[in-house]
Structure 1
Amino acid sequence: MKQWVITDIHGCVKTFEALLQRIGFNRSDALYLLGDYVDRGPDSKGVLELVMQLSQSKHKVHCLLGNHEIMMLHAVHNSGTKAARHWKKYVGGGETLRSFRAVKPHEISEHYIEFIANMDHYFEVGNYILVHAGLNFAVPDPLQDKEAMLWTRGQTHINHAWLNGRIVVHGHTPQPTQQVIQNVERMEQNPVVDIDCGCVYPRNNMHHLCALELISRQLVFQKNVD
């Protein structure tokens, strides 16, 4: 069984499908998705539907929340707020609404909202901690700070004693593909590994979605085709 990790799909369902085909994902594998399924890309609804279809067809799919899902939930439940307008205008919520053929956030079907609301904040898989954005190592137990799991950037301080040999794999902060390769190659020395290849950003050698296999540490890249 292979254990694949993918993050920050951002509405790029064709790219996601192409990457799943490239890695040969099947029912004997496990797939861990680290959040940010929605916003910016053209088909957030399609990404969520594909993830749900895989789960319903007995594929082993495990989903984490990303900060974009949290912003979407806030917009749905408080659609008249400044935060909801910010989501729609500045961080890709407009593209998400169009994919649902919705004008206002509360028009998105409850089916999708419940699916997102039931997602976890982190997973522990073998020697790995999987999370969307990273951990706050300034607190005694980093697994208690859920806000940091969604929003933190720039892991300059790492509590190696607390990790005790474990490795954090996350997304959230876009990196050039070569940097992601280096992150994985150096994970024993620097055990906080960012695998977000900036799928929706056609600049700075990004514009890719990548999958990391946790056992072999193989990386597979798929250029954006949406």
Structure 2
Amino acid sequence: MRIFAISDIHACYRTFEALLQKIDLNKEDELYLLGDYIDRGPSSKEVIELILKLQKENYNVHCLLGNHEVMMLHALRYPHSPEAQSWQHWNGGDSTLKSFGVTFVSDIDEKYIRFMLSLSYYLEKDHFLFVHAGLNFKLADPLGDKESMLWSFDDRPKVNKKWLGDRIIVHGHRIHTRSRIRQNISELDTFPVLGIDNGCVYPKREYNKLCAVELNNMELYFQKNIEIH
């Protein structure tokens, strides 16, 4: 059984679909999606539809909560708040509303809201610990800080290896170049933290790709962004 992780799809449905074809995902595999399915790209609705379709067809797809889902849910609860305005105008929420064909978050179909409300802050499989952004190792129990799981930008945290044991943290949220992701893999014995966000929605040469990692052998797959903007 292969174990894959992909993070920060950011509404790039065609790119996500092409990456799944590239890795030849099958029902014996396990796929961990690390959050930020929506915003910035053009096809938030289609990305979630594809995830729900895979789950309905009994693919082993497990999904984490990302900070962009949290921003959208906040905008749903507090539509007139500064945070809601920031999400819509500065963090890609406008493209998400357009993808769903609505003007207000409250008009998005309830099944998509239920999907976001069902998402986990972290998941574990074998000796891998999946989280969207990171963990707060200043706490005795890093899993007690949900904000850090969603928003942490500490690129080289001082890891509590006694607490972590033989687990490897796999995360997204902070963009890395392809060479940096490969370097992270080469350093896992000394620094067991693997960031896999290759900045799919950022049109710089060293980014602009969606990354998948097969964790049993640490093989990387990259799919260049092919969306029509």
For normalisation by structure 1, the TM-score amounts to 0.98
Q: Give the Cα–Cα distance (whole angstroms) in 1 for the partners of residues 102 and 182 of structure 2.
A: 39
Q: In 2, Cα distance between the equivalents of 1:31 and 1:156?
A: 26
Aligned partners of 2:113, 2:194: CA distance in 1, in Å? 29
Instruction: Please name the residue that 1:58 is paired with.
Output: 58
CA distance in 2 between counterparts of 1:54 and 1:112 reads 15
Could you say which residue in structure 2 is the equivalent of 1:150? Answer: 150
Question: What's the CA shift for 1:216?
Answer: 1.1
Aligned partners of 1:8 and 1:37 also within 8 Å: yes
Matches within 5 A, 1:27-38: 27-38=27-38
Paired residues, number: 226
CA distance in 1, matches of 2:20, 2:194: 21
Residue 50 of structure 1 aligns to which amino acid in structure 2? Answer: L
How far the C-alpha of 1:165 sits from its partner, in A, is: 2.0
d(CA) in 1 for partners of 2:29 and 2:65? 21
1:212 alignment counterpart: 213
Contact 1:97–1:103 (8 Å) recurs in 2: yes
Q: Is the 8 A contact 2:36 2:67 kept in 1?
A: yes
* Segments of 4+ moved more than 4 angstroms: none
Paired position in structure 2 for 1:225: 226
Q: What does the per-residue CA deviation read over 1:82-104, in whole Å, with 9 as the maximum and x for residues that have no partner?
A: 11111000000001000001111
Q: What residue is the counterpart of 1:77 in the other structure?
A: 77
SS at match of 2:210: strand
Partner-residue secondary structure (3-state), 1:58: coil
| Aligned residue type for 1:42 | P
Counterpart of 2:225 in structure 1: which amino acid?
N
CA offsets 1:151-182 (integer angstroms, 9 cap, x no match): 11123321122111211010000111111111
> Equivalents in 2 of 1:3, 1:121: separation in Å?
19
- The equivalent of 2:138 in structure 1 is 138
Match of 1:125 in 2: 125
**Counterpart-to-counterpart distance in 1, 2:68 and 2:113:** 13
Describe the SS at the equivalent of 2:74.
helix
Aligned to 2:92: 92
CA contact (8 A) 2:137 2:157 kept: no
1:123-202 to 2 correspondence within 5 Å? 123-154=123-154, 155-202=156-203
Q: Counterparts of 1:73 and 1:15 in 2: how far apart (Å)? A: 25
CA contact (8 A) 2:10 2:201 kept: yes
CA distance in 2, matches of 1:185, 1:37: 28
Matched residue, 1:42: 42
Q: What is the match of residue 9 of structure 1? A: 9
User: Percent identity at matched positions?
Assistant: 48
Equivalent residue, structure 1, for 2:106: 106
Aligned alpha-carbon RMSD (Å): 0.9
One-letter identity of the residue aligned with 1:19: L
Conserved 8 A contact 1:176-1:204: no
2:197 counterpart letter in structure 1: D
Tell me, in whole angstroms, the C-alpha distance in 1 between the residues paired with 2:21 and 2:129.
25
| Gap runs ≥5 in structure 1 | none
The question of whether the paired residues in 2 share the 8 Å contact of 1:12 and 1:224 is answered with yes
Deviation at 1:135, TM superposition (A): 0.5
Is the partner of 2:61 in helix, strand or coil?
A: strand
TM-score, normalised relative to structure 2 = 0.97
1 CA distance for matches of 2:165 and 2:53? 37
Q: Note the C-alpha offset of 1:204.
A: 5.0
For each residue in 1:172-218, what CA deviation from the matched residue of structure 2 results, as whole angstroms up to 9, or x when unmatched?
00111111111112111111111000000011500010111111111
